Each structure stands twice: as C-alpha cells, then as structure tokens.
C-alpha cells in the first residue's frame, strides 16, 4: 500500500510536474474521498475483466504524462457498453499511442449524468493554499461562478461558500435536477482543503473537475494535481 | 524578529515616557509639530533630542538619546532618511524598544532607500526594536495625548476621542480621512489611529491584532493596498469581527489578474476575487469608494445594529421614495409590511391622497406633524427593522425647525437604525448640519442612506450566520 507521500515521490522521481489522473484519484481515496470504481489495466484482458466486474457502461482513459489534454486527443472514451466496445477502444489506443509512454488504461465505472461542479485549490502569494468551489465542467472558465476560501476550511465556511455561488439555487432540485446534499458537499470541500493544506509543500494546484452531483451522491470523475 | 504574544502596538500606546528624536525649532516643521504635540498633550514624560542642543517649548534639547538618563518607553524618529540608521542604532543602545519612523525615503524610494531600510532592519534585529514605519504618520490617540502626526493642527484638524480605530497603509489617505472625521458631526470619533507606511516591521495584521484587543476600540476601519501577513490577517479578522465590526477599503483591485497556471483553478484565481471572498468570509465589510467609508463611520458609529432586513421608508417626494426602494433591493434588503395597527393608525389620520404603504409618501402637502405620525408609526412597528427618513424641504407647509426636533427625538431612541436623507439646497443643508451636530446620521441622497442601512444589515446577517446575537455588538454605546 503506497501512501500519499509515495505517490508524490513517484511523480517527482519521474520528473513530472503533475500526477496522472489515476494517481491523483488514489491520493483522494487516501483522504477518504469516494471516487468511482476504477482499475488501471495494463492489458486488453485486464481492461475487459475490470469492465465486467463494474458492469456497463464504463469509461476508458489513457494514462500518460505525454497525453495531458486527454479529451482533445481522444484519449477518453465514454459510454462503453460491452466487452467488444472495451476491446475495440483498447486496440484503438494501442494503435494511436504506440509511440507514447503509457502507465496503462484507466477503466472506470461510468457515473450517471448530474450537475457538474468544480473543487480546486491553488497556492496564493498572500494567503497560501486557497480552495475554490463552483460550477464546473468544460465551461468553468467562461461561467466563472466560483468562490474562494482559505485552506484548511471548516464545514461552516464551506457551507457558506456553497450558498454564495450564483447558481446556488440549482443545488436544491431546480427543474428536475437532483437535490444535492449540501452537508456532504461541504465535507468534500473540507477534505480537499485539508489535502491542500497538509501537503502544501508538494501540491501547487488541484482541479477536481467535474465533480458530478447526482441522486446517488457526489462523484469526482476527473482529478488533476500539479506539483510544486 | 521575535513575535511576542501581546499585541506589540500596546507597548507604544501604553508608553509612560516618550522621546522625539529630531525635534525641530523651526515652526511647522515635522519635528517641531510632533515635539509640540507631546510636550502639550502627552501625560507622561516627554524628552526632545536635537544634535544642536538648546531648548524647545520649555524643555531641554538633548544632543542624543544617549545623553538622557531616564528610561524611555517609545520614541519617534523624524530625521532625514540618511541619518535614520545611526539614530535608530542610538535608540537601540539606549534600550528603547518601540520606535516610530515617520521619515520617508526608504524602500518606497528606489535602490538607495531600499539599502537604508535594509540597514534599519539589521539594527532592529540586533537590538530587538519594534518599528512603526518608515514613511508614515505614525500613531494618534486623542484620549492618550499621543500624536506623532507631523502636520500642524492648523492644517490637519484632529478629531477627538470616540469608538473608531483606524489603520492605514497610506499616510496621505490617513491624513485626509482624519481631517474629514474632525468635521464630521461632533468630531468625537477616534480611539486609535495607526499609519504604518512601509511596514518594515509592524504591519496591518499587528495593527488589527492590537485594535481587536483594545477595549476602547468599538469599530475598526482599514485602508490597505496589499497584505504583508495576509493569512494571519484573515484569521484574526474572523475572530475579531464577531465582537467589533471591521470595514474598509482594500484598494489596488486591478493590479494583477489571474496568473496563467496549469489548472482551471489557477486560471480563475484573480487576486482581487480571492481577497474579496476571503474578506467576506472573515466578516470584513468591504467598501469601494471613499464616501462609503465616511458613511460607515456615521452608520456604525451612531446606530444600533438592525435585527433584520425589513426597511420602512418615509418620504415627502415620490421619486426619492422610488429610488430609495430600488436601493433597498440592490442592497438585498426588503420593504417592511406594516402591522395592521400602524397601517390602521396612518389610514385614519392621513388624507386619502397620502400613500400609506411602504414607502409612506406624505407628499408635498406634508407638515412636520405628518412626519411625526409617519415616522413614529414606522419606528414603533414591530415588523420594521430600520427606518429611512427622507425629506425634500422645499414644500410650503413644512416647518423645518419642527421637522428637525421631531427627527432628533426619534433618533435619540436608538432602538433600531434610523437614517435621514435631506435633499435640496440651503434649507436641506441647514437641517442636515443641525442634525449632524448631534451625530444623527444624515446623507445627501436617499440611495446613500439606504446603502448605509445595507452595510449595517450585512453585518447583522454575518453575525447571525455565525450564531452571534447582533444586540451584543454595541458600537455607539462607546460614544
């Protein structure tokens, strides 16, 4: 069992300035944060076994420090519904990324649609680690509906932050959207702020985007940790 | 430098002996003004130093601090920057631990000045001296007779003792604001004033820590351009804002945008948005413009906090009422719905063409007595948390003297916030001046009056969200 420090050290030893997604998620897991079930497959058979064990649909993502913009490079395939789908994606990845150093293919249980939120952290010159919460997804930088707190944050501060975003009203079951458990969300924010604070010497920035919020709960489906 | 647990500014203000180093015999020179201030107002012992010797204001001029035999608790250095390190060194040798350096020409003034400030830092470390400044007005407390503001009283008028403590990064801002407060209402406003300039040692967070603990400080007003100790500032502010309101300006809002980073979070991290959110979270009421600061002093310095957000508006002009109502919603306040009793009373007494909803519009036919009825109905109504009293005194039947008396009577009850806006020319100015003399808050526009209530109510909301009863925070009682 590797610790958070081990995972960070591995990244550093490989001269990387960021953790790979599966490593970042492993770090979150160590903080007690629930993430969708996933397995880093090294072979096509492992990928199929993983998918079969989770049940369909699944998502497959190529884990490589040379492929950072996974969506742009079509290194993320979603809504795969059968062993055939998994095999064909695996083979496609093998073909297209044969000249790239790869850690494996992350096979992950696909999360049902929901509200897309972002929780992130950054290191501020004046205030040290700060945490951001807001409306997530690919439009996050355009919508800019976010709020900051200093790390580590308390549950009370996190709850206030949640109610401060302009879109706060959509968390309460707006037009058929799921009702988001604000206390659970606050706990998640607190937990991530703790991570940024405790590892402030190592972690420069963090993006958990999106955190999908649906009727089943909160699901960090992508995670990015930038090292100092 | 050692961070001692007690607020370091306390030992400055509590000094029983004070030395003015660079006391000048030329009238109105900074060293002359500060010497005058201490010789005339400081209740402790004052010593003056000038290398040329002689006498000033009936006191001997020592050639150096080292010539003084007695212990000195604090000193102000007012010498040209190039002599400052040597002077500070002598203070260190003399065992003076608390020094104010008002002189400019240090880190704010290029290479050479930066080098001088470095030398000063070395000396501070060597002798463990606390330093306020350089490049500042230093400290002022009217109640303590403590005044290092080197501008003569004929130019910079001093406000007298009151509940407000102020700290500022900019000396010029400080001077202007102090001057303004001297002519605001009774002029009884200031508890402690701290202008810390370049913050070579004592910074905004030290100032906040001190005024936070100071029992005579009932509200805190700040002017900042940047943070020297931002994290601790926010932590302290969060504690202090539960017992005293903190408000002010953090200027320099557009200096830096978000820096390019590898994450969405970094891309969204504009300095000012972070500052804005953290101030908000720490319960600091942030204002943007200078006029809002004066409004803050008038509102927080004279009024109890509202218990809720329901506002009643009384007006003799429809347009003023509409604009005030707009500001009510802009400030996230609500228009009160009157209780059946108040409603019935007004409907019985007032002619049918008066509007007795909210705003209560007693029209151009209003008399002073109508104001009494409307204001009392609104003020006594349990459904009303605060009252706006708008008057355009041009109407023929309004006796302005009676109106002033009625307004004073209600203002003195201080059961809930009560703000007045007088709009017009000579008569409006006259009435405003009469009321302000007694520290009854009057604003030049209905919007400003409502905005002042908005700031008070924001603070009430913050306290309530933190489980604090707003009735426990009493600023105006200190007056």
pLDDT tens-place string over residues A46-90: 999 999 999 999 999 999 999 878 888 899 999 999 999 999 999
Among A126, A148, A160, the residue with its CB nearest the CB of B273 is A148
- Residue written as tokens 């927080």? B300
Task: Give me the sheet containing B160-168, strands edge to edge.
Answer: B146-147, B138-141, B188-195, B160-168, B219-224, B246-250, B284-286
Question: Is A96 in the same domain as A182?
Answer: no
Q: How far is CA B22 from the centre of its chain?
A: 30
What's A21's domain CATH number? 3.30.1490.20
CB < 8 Å to B275, chain A: 126
CB contact at 8 A, B208 and B229 = no
Choosing from A48, A80, A109, the residue where a domain stops is A109
Question: How much is the mean pLDDT over chain A?
Answer: 95
**B466: in domain:** yes
A93 shares its domain with A123: no
Q: Do B261 and A226 touch (CB under 8 A)?
A: yes
Least Cα distance to B291 among B170, B397, B184 occurs for B184
Q: Answer yes or no: do A134 and A180 share one domain.
A: yes
Domain containing residue B59: 9-217
Task: For chain A, say whether B467 makes contact (Cβ under 8 Å).
Answer: no
Interface probe for A, chosen from B263, B286, B465 (most Cβ of A below 10 Å), is: B263
Bond before A210 cis per omega within 30 degrees: yes
Give the Cα separation of A24 and A220 in Å (integer). 11
B260/A contact by beta carbon, under 8 A? no
What local confidence, expressed as pLDDT, does residue B263 receive? 84
**If you average pLDDT over residues A198-202, what whole number do you get?**
97
> Distance (Å, rounded) from C-alpha B391 to C-alpha B198?
46
Residue at B241 is within a domain: no
pLDDT score of A80: 97
Task: Please compute, for residue A221, the number of CA atoms within 13 A of its CA located in the half-sphere on the CB side.
Answer: 27
Q: Is the pLDDT of residue B164 over 60?
A: yes
Q: In this predicted structure, what is the pLDDT of residue A72? A: 85
Q: What is the pLDDT of residue B253?
A: 86
Do both B197 and B333 map to the same domain?
A: no
Q: Do B263 and A157 touch (CB under 8 A)?
A: no
The number of folded domains in chain A is 2
Distance of CA A9 to the CA centre of its chain: 20
Q: d(Cα A165, Cα A144) in Å, to the nearest integer?
A: 10
Q: Are B192 and B214 in contact (CB under 8 A)?
A: yes
Quote the minimal CA–CA distance from A140 to chain B in Å.
7
Residues of A with a Cβ under 8 Å from any B Cβ are: 17-18, 118, 120-122, 124, 126-128, 130, 132, 134, 140-141, 144, 146-150, 156-157, 160-161, 164, 205-207, 209, 224, 226
Quick one: average pLDDT of B130-136?
96
SS3 B51: coil
**Domain check: are A45 and A125 in the same one?**
no
B26-64: pLDDT as tens digits: 999 999 999 999 999 999 999 999 999 999 999 999 999
Select from B205, B265, B278 the residue whose CB has the most chain A CBs within 10 Å, as the one to mutate to test that interface.
Answer: B265
Assess B239–A contact: CB distance below 8 Å, yes or no.
no
CATH at residue B80:
3.40.50.720
Distance from CA of B258 to the nearest CA of A (A): 11
Residue B5: the pLDDT is 60
Least CB–CB distance from A130: residue in B227, B262, B274: B274
Q: Domain with B464 in it: what CATH number?
A: 3.40.50.261
A34 and A105 assigned to the same domain: yes
Answer yes or no: are the C-beta atoms of A139 and A118 closer than 8 Å.
no
- B261 reaches A (C-beta below 8 A): yes
Question: How many Å apart are CA B421 and CA A21, to the nearest integer?
Answer: 60
Closest-CA residue in chain B for A119?
A: B265
Domain stop point among B153, B184, B217: B217
User: Is B247 within a domain?
Assistant: no
Q: What's the pLDDT tens digit per position in B173-229?
A: 999 999 999 999 999 999 999 999 999 999 999 999 999 999 999 999 999 999 999
Record: contact A148-B278, CB cut-off 8 A: yes
Residue with tokens 């104001």: B371
The pLDDT score that the predictor gives to residue B478 is 46
Q: Indicate yes or no: CB of A122 within 8 angstroms of CB of B265.
A: yes
Shared domain check, B139 and B43? yes
Strand pairing report for B17-21 and B74-77: parallel
Distances (CA, A) of B284 to B147, B218, B219, B299, B456: 28, 14, 11, 15, 12
Nearest by CB to B281, which of A17, A146, A160?
A160
Q: What is the pLDDT of residue A122?
A: 96
Domain final position from A89, A109, A129 = A109
B284 inside domain: no
Residue A215 sits in the same domain as residue A178 = yes
3 state DSSP class of B109: coil
Q: Which residues of chain A neighbour B271 with C-beta distances below 8 Å? A: 124, 126
- What average pLDDT does range A209-221 have in this prediction? 96
Average pLDDT over residues B394-401: 97
> What average pLDDT score do residues A138-152 get?
95
Residue owning tokens 């998502």? A59
- Does residue A154 share a domain with residue A87? no
* Closest residue in A to B276 (Cα–Cα): A148
Average pLDDT in chain B: 95
If you measure CA to CA, which chain A residue comes closest to B266?
A122
Interface test with A, best of B252, B268, B282 (most A CBs within 10 A): B268
Residues A87 and A129 in one domain: no
Contact A124 B269 (CB under 8 A): yes
A120 neighbourhood in chain B, CB within 8 Å: 263-265, 268
Q: Give the count of Cβ contacts less than 8 A between chain A and B.
A: 84
Same domain, A87 and A138: no
In chain B, which residues have their Cβ closer than 8 Å to the Cβ of A124?
Answer: 230, 269, 271, 274
- pLDDT by residue (tens digit) across B235-288? 999 999 999 999 999 998 875 555 666 788 888 888 899 999 999 999 999 999
Nearest to B317 by CA among B362, B275, B281: B362
Q: What percent of chain A has pLDDT over 90?
A: 93
A127/A145 same-domain check: yes
Residue B203: which residues within 8 A CB-CB, separation 6 or more? B196, B228, B229
Compare CB distances from B274 to A124, A144, A164 and report the shortest one's residue. Answer: A124
Using a CB-CB cut-off of 8 Å, the residues of chain A touching B466 are 156
CB contact under 8 A, B263 and A17: no
Q: What is the dihedral of CA B157, B162, B164, B166, to 10 degrees?
A: 40
- pLDDT (0 to 100) of residue B1: 47
**Which DSSP helix (H) or strand (E) runs through A56?**
none
Contacts of A126 in chain B (CB under 8 A): 226-227, 230-231, 271, 275
Is B277 an 8 Å CB contact of chain A?
yes
CATH number at residue A162: 3.30.470.20
Residues A68 and A168 in one domain: no
Task: Give B255→chain A minimum CA distance, Å.
Answer: 14
Q: Any chain A CB within 8 A of the CB of B227?
A: yes
- Chain A residues in contact with B265 by the CB 8 A cut-off are 118, 120-122, 132, 205-207
Residue with tokens 């509202």: B306
The DSSP-derived string for B325-388 is HHHHHHTT-EEPPPPHHHHHHHHHHS-TTSB-SSSEE--TT--HHHHHHHHHHHHH-TT-SEEE
pLDDT for residue B6 is more than 90: no
Q: Is residue B242 included in any domain, yes or no?
A: no
**Count of domains observed in chain B:** 2
Q: Are residues B339 and B202 in the same domain?
A: no
Residue finishing a domain among B173, B200, B217: B217
Closest-CA residue in chain B for A143? Answer: B268
| pTM exceeds cut of 0.90 | yes
Residues of B in contact with A17 (CB under 8 A): 262
Token pair for B450: 């409502």
Which chain A residues touch B281 with a CB distance below 8 Å? 149-150, 157, 160-161
pLDDT in tens, A82-132: 999 999 999 999 999 999 999 999 999 999 999 999 999 999 999 999 999
Lowest mean pLDDT among B94-103, B277-286, B466-475: B466-475
Same domain, B18 and B120: yes
Residues from chain B contacting residue A149 (CB–CB below 8 Å): 277-278, 281
Residues of B in contact with A71 (CB under 8 A): none
| 3-state DSSP percent of chain B in helix, strand and coil, to 5 | 40, 20, 40
B274 touching A (Cβ < 8 Å): yes
Q: What is the pLDDT of residue B259?
A: 60
Do A92 and A175 share a domain, yes or no? no
Domain final residue, candidates B187, B217, B247: B217
Assess whether pLDDT exceeds 60 at residue B302.
Answer: yes
Residue B231 lies in a domain: no
Domain that holds residue A21: 4-109
Domain co-membership, B200 together with B316: no
Last residue of a domain, one of A109, A132, A154: A109
Paired sense of beta strands B160-168 and B219-224, if any: parallel
- Name residues whose C-beta falls within 8 Å of residue B389's C-beta, 6 or more positions apart in sequence: B314, B371, B375, B407, B410, B418, B419, B420, B421
- Are residues A225 and A21 in contact, defined by beta-carbon separation less than 8 angstroms? no
């Amino acid at each position: 069992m590797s610790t958070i420090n081990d995972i960070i050290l591995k990244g550093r030893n490989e001269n990387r300035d960021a953790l790979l997604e599966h490593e970042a998620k492993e770090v979150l897991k160590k903080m007690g944060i629930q993430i969708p079930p996933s397995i880093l497959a090294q072979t096509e058979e492992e990928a199929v076994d993983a998918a079969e064990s989770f049940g369909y649909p699944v998502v497959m993502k190529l884990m490589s420090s040379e492929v950072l913009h996974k969506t742009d490079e079509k290194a993320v395939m979603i809504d795969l519904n059968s062993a055939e789908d998994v095999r064909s994606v695996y083979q496609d990845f093998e073909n297209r990324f044969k000249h790239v150093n790869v850690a494996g293919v992350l096979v992950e249980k696909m999360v049902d649609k929901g509200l897309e939120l972002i929780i992130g952290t950054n290191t501020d010159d004046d205030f040290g680690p700060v945490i951001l919460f807001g409306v997530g997804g690919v439009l996050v930088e355009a919508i800019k509906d976010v709020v900051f707190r200093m790390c580590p944050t308390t549950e009370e501060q996190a709850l206030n932050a949640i109610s401060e975003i302009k879109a706060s009203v959509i968390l309460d079951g707006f037009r058929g959207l799921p009702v988001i458990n604000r206390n659970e969300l606050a706990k998640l924010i607190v937990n991530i702020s703790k991570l940024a604070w405790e590892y402030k010497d190592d972690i420069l920035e963090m993006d958990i985007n999106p955190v999908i919020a649906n009727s089943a709960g909160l699901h960090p489906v992508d995670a990015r940790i930038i090292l100092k | 430098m050692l961070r001692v647990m007690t607020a370091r500014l306390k030992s400055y203000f509590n000094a029983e002996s004070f030395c003015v180093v660079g006391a000048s015999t030329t009238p109105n020179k900074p060293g002359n003004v500060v010497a005058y201030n201490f010789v005339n107002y400081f209740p402790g012992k004052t010593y003056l130093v000038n290398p040329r010797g002689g006498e000033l204001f009936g006191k001997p001029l020592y050639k150096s601090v080292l010539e003084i035999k007695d212990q000195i608790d604090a000193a102000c250095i007012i010498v040209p920057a190039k002599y400052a390190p040597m002077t500070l060194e002598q203070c260190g040798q003399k065992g003076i631990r608390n020094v104010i350096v008002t002189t400019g020409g240090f880190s704010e003034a290029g290479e050479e000045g930066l080098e001088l400030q470095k030398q000063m830092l070395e000396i501070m470390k060597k002798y463990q001296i606390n330093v306020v400044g350089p490049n500042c007005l230093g400290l002022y407390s009217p109640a303590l007779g403590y005044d290092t503001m080197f501008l003569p009283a004929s130019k910079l008028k001093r406000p007298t003792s009151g509940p407000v403590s102020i700290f500022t990064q900019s000396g010029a801002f400080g001077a202007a604001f102090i001057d303004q407060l001297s002519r605001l209402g009774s002029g009884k406003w200031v508890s402690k004033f701290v202008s810390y300039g370049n913050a070579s040692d004592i910074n905004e967070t030290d100032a906040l820590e001190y005024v936070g603990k100071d029992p005579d400080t009932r509200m805190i007003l700040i002017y900042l351009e940047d943070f020297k100790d931002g994290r601790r500032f926010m932590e302290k502010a969060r504690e202090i804002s539960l017992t005293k309101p903190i408000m002010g300006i953090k200027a320099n809002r557009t200096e830096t945008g978000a820096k390019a980073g590898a994450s969405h979070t970094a891309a969204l991290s504009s300095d000012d948005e972070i500052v804005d959110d953290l101030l908000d979270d720490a319960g600091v009421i942030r204002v943007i413009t200078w006029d809002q600061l004066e409004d803050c002093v008038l509102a927080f310095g004279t009024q109890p906090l509202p218990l809720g957000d329901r506002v009643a508006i009384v007006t003799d002009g429809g347009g003023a009422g509409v604009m005030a109502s707009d500001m009510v919603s802009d400030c996230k306040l609500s228009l009160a719905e009157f209780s059946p009793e108040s409603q019935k009373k007004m409907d019985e007494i007032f002619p049918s063409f008066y509007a007795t909803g909210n705003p209560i519009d007693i029209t151009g036919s209003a008399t002073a007595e109508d104001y009494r009825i409307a204001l009392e109905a609104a003020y006594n109504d349990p459904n009303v948390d605060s009252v706006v009293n708008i008057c355009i005194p041009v109407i023929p039947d309004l006796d302005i003297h009676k109106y002033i008396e009625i307004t004073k009577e209600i203002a003195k009850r201080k059961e809930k916030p009560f703000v007045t806006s007088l709009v017009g020319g000579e008569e409006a100015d006259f009435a405003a001046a009469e009321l302000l003399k007694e520290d009854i808050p009057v604003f030049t526009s209905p919007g400003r009056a409502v905005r002042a209530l908005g700031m008070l109510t924001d603070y009430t909301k913050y306290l309530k969200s933190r489980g604090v009863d707003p009735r426990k925070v009493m600023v105006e009682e200190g007056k």
